[in-house]
């Protein structure tokens, strides 16, 4: 790969000198148990915000802790040369709860290295994201080639609820030509990736009623339908016999043609022997680009307390992942009409929206994407693959909506063995150095876009 527009050898040499300090600072951040969930001590979130702000302040950034009704976020800014582009770097400093400590091979908040991986809650997701940004900045020393704005959120793991309010209040300070969102994953060890699509989400509650009150199943069963059986029949209409989503009219996008076979999917998902896959089409299309429907909860009498009664009413919560390009409320209306049209035996059906989130489909072309692909190639020796993620990342949609003109680059420090959110979360240290180098090269390449 051509490196004439940037001095790659110099960046690589500087970074390899800097990595021991980066590692030490990453470990210090990981020791702060900054779980954003309400049940945990929120003083720790304040500590991790302060520690994050201090790290950037030490590099000459104007760093400030801000909030808009939620957890503290950090905004830090350092000016590049006059007229240089502005790059916004996103990460989050809150973490998931550690879960049962017995499942961890080393204490979740005491970072520990084993076999080239650093174990700890947040060692990858997403304190390594913060440190990748810091490493990129440090690699340029006093010659920062672009203006850098850093935004480190404190509530990503609880859904980024106050993020739209924060972006509304502080958005003017976050305006940028490119936004690097470092909270996703690479495709494999040695295989970097840009995340270019995310599915959206609809969650709905469907209630099915047949009776004004519960009645004796022996007296009336056989002629009078019950609400629970009617609900089960209704839920069964959502899929065809081979498990394809039966709801018609929903968007279905296409996914990139990366190799991904059934044995890998079976292994990664823990599918039991003999259980068939559902749906149709290429596997990555099914999990990244097409809609999926899952019943995630049912309110009905429990098995232990059930009596011989025709249940008058029952309800279920349905989670629907939608194609990246699908507008969520449009998908909800389609789902709602589908369910109302299929009310079994004239049962009364109500469908209520519980939650919604937009997907993301990047226009992964143009000079910023070219610069990003070249920067990944600088670090790995070959360009990244485009991947999708089947879930939603609320902050990506929030940034896309607030900054429609900026190029959104969704990068990440994770790999398939990271186990973010699970026990024994870890960061691959060798890949992490490449992530840092790619980001340092990206800043230089974005600056070079302006030079003739």
Residues 161-220 that bind Zn ion (CB under 5 A): 183
Q: CB of 167: closest distance to Zn ion in angstroms? A: 18
Segment interacting with Zn ion (CB under 5 A) among 118-126, 218-226, 230-238, 350-358? 118-126
CB of 322 to Zn ion, least distance (A): 21
Using CB under 5 A, which of the segments 71-79, 120-128, 322-330, 430-438 binds Zn ion?
120-128
Q: How far is the CB of 125 from Zn ion (least distance, A)?
A: 4
Residue number, 183 or 439, with CB nearest to Zn ion:
183
The catalytic position among 27, 155, 156, 425 is: 156
Whole-number Cα distances in Å, 211 to 119, 232, 312 = 55, 16, 4
Number of residues engaging Zn ion in binding (CB under 5 A): 3
Question: Measured from the CB atom, is 125 or 431 closer to Zn ion?
Answer: 125
- Is residue 125 a contact point for Zn ion (CB under 5 A)? yes
Q: Which of 25, 94, 285, 433 is catalytic?
A: 94
Q: What is the C-alpha to C-alpha distance for residues 233 and 274, in angstroms, rounded to an integer? A: 25
- Cβ nearer to Zn ion, comparing 94 with 253: 94
Distance CA(278)–CA(261), nearest Å, equals: 14
Length of the chain: 452
* CB 383, min distance to Zn ion, A: 24
Closest approach, Cβ 157 to Zn ion, in A, equals 7
The contact pattern for Zn ion, residues 370-399, with x = CB under 5 A and - = no contact, is: ------------------------------
Q: Is 94 a catalytic residue?
A: yes
Residue 156 Cβ, how far from Zn ion at the closest point, in Å?
A: 5
- Displacement of CA 397 from its chain's centroid (Å): 11
187/382 Cα distance (integer angstroms): 13
**Between residues 135 and 444, which has the closer beta carbon with respect to Zn ion?**
135
Kindly state whether residue 431 participates in binding Zn ion, applying the rule CB under 5 A.
no
What are the tokens at 192? 């970097």
Nearer to Zn ion, 126 or 439 (CB): 126
Closer to Zn ion by CB, 86 or 186: give it.
Answer: 186
Q: How far apart are the first and last CA of the chain?
A: 20
Whether the CB-CB separation of 408 and 216 falls below 8 Å is answered with no
Residue nearer to Zn ion on the CB measure, 86 or 185: 185
Span of 122-130, 159-167, 251-259, 323-331 interacting with Zn ion by CB under 5 A = 122-130
439 is a contact residue toward Zn ion (CB under 5 A)? no
The least distance separating Zn ion from the CB of residue 412, rounded to whole angstroms, comes to 8
Let me know if 242 is a catalytic residue: no
Piece of 8-16, 117-125, 346-354, 441-449 that binds Zn ion (CB under 5 A)? 117-125
Residue of 25, 27, 126, 153 that binds Zn ion (CB under 5 A): 126
Contact assessment for residue 28 and residue 51, using Cβ atoms and an 8 Å cutoff: yes
| CA distance readout (Å), 97 to 41, 100, 108, 322, 381 | 11, 9, 10, 28, 36
Stretch that binds Zn ion, among 68-76, 119-127, 265-273, 325-333 (CB under 5 A): 119-127
Query: What residue ranges bind Zn ion (CB under 5 A)?
Result: 125-126, 183
Q: Which residues are catalytic?
A: 94, 156
């Amino acid at each position: 790969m051509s490196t004439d527009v940037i001095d790659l050898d110099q960046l690589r040499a500087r970074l390899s000198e800097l990595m021991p300090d980066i590692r030490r600072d990453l470990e210090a951040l990981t020791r702060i148990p900054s779980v954003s969930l309400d049940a945990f001590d929120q003083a720790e979130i304040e500590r991790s915000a302060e520690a994050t702000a201090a790290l950037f302040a030490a590099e000459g950034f104007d760093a400030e802790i801000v909030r808009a009704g939620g957890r503290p976020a950090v905004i830090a800014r350092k000016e590049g040369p006059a007229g240089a582009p502005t790059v916004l770097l996103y990460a989050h400093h809150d973490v998931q709860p550690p879960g049962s400590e017995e499942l961890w091979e080393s204490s979740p908040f005491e970072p520990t290295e084993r076999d080239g991986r650093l174990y700890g809650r947040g060692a990858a997701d997403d304190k390594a994201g913060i440190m990748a940004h810091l490493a990129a900045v440090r690699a340029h020393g006093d010659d920062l080639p672009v203006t850098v704005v850093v935004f480190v959120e404190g509530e990503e793991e609880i859904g980024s609820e106050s993020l739209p309010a924060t972006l509304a209040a502080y958005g003017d300070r976050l305006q940028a030509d490119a936004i690097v969102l470092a909270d996703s994953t690479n495709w494999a060890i040695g295989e970097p990736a840009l995340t270019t699509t995310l599915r959206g989400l609809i969650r709905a509650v469907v209630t099915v009623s047949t009776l004004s009150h519960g009645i004796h199943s022996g007296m009336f069963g056989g002629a009078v339908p019950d609400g629970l059986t009617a609900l089960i029949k209704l839920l069964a209409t959502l899929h065809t016999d081979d498990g394809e989503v039966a709801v018609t009219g929903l968007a279905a996008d296409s996914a990139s043609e990366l190799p991904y076979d059934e044995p890998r999917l079976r292994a990664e998902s823990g599918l039991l022997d003999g259980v068939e896959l559902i749906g149709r089409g290429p596997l990555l299309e099914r999990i990244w680009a097409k809609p999926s429907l899952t019943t995630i909860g049912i309110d009905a009498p429990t098995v232990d307390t059930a009596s011989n009664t025709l249940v008058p009413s029952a309800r279920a919560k349905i989670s629907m992942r939608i194609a990246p390009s699908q507008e969520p409320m449009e998908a909800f209306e389609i789902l709602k009409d589908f369910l109302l049209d299929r009310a079994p035996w004239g049962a009364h059906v109500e469908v209520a929206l519980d939650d919604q989130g937009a997907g993301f489909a990047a226009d992964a072309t143009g000079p910023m994407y070219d610069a990003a692909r070249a920067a990944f190639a600088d670090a790995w020796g070959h360009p990244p693959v485009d991947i999708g993620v089947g879930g939603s990342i609320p902050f990506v949609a929030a940034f896309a909506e607030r900054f429609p003109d900026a190029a959104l680059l969704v990068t990440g420090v994770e790999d398939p063995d990271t186990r973010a959110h699970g026990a024994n979360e870890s960061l691959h240290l060798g890949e992490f150095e490449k992530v840092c180098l790619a980001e340092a090269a990206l800043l230089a390449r974005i600056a070079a876009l302006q030079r003739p």
